[in-house]
């Protein structure tokens, strides 16, 4: 499959259509699935082009899941850094009531 067939770079002069976008969800309606996935569910033999399309779709789904995982990880680390930073600031300035009683007066 070339870039036009994958939908990465669409050439308007080509007569064939690129793959439609599919985010892996079908909301319970099997007709919303791509044709190659419907054919796979019916256990019909796939042509080499359909196998390539199916591999590309699985690759796209995997990349989307990996991107979401990295985003969640980065946001979690950022949140934890903010909590630790605010806690450190409060401890440094003796703003926590439990630690303020233990601190020496200035």
Residue 29 is encoded by which pair of tokens? 């309606």
pLDDT digits (tens, 9 = 90+) for 39-94: 888 888 999 988 988 888 888 889 889 999 999 999 999 999 999 999 888 888 87
Residue 106 in domain: no
pTM for the model stands at: 0.57
Count up the domains in the chain and report the number.
1
Asked if residues 42 and 33 have their Cβ atoms less than 8 Å apart, the reply is no
Residue 14 in domain: yes
Structural domain boundaries, residue 26: 3-100
Residue 105 in domain: no
Residue 29 in domain: yes
Residue 61 in domain: yes
């Amino acid at each position: 499959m070339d870039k036009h067939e994958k939908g990465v770079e669409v050439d308007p002069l080509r007569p064939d259509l690129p793959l439609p976008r599919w985010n892996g969800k079908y909301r319970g309606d099997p007709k919303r699935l791509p044709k190659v996935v419907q054919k796979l569910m019916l256990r019909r033999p796939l042509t080499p082009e359909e196998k390539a399309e199916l591999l590309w779709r699985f690759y796209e789904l995997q990349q989307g899941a990996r991107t979401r995982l990295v985003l969640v990880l980065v946001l979690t680390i950022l949140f934890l850094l903010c909590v630790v930073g605010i806690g450190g600031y409060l401890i440094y300035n003796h703003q926590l009531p439990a630690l303020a009683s233990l601190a020496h007066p200035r």
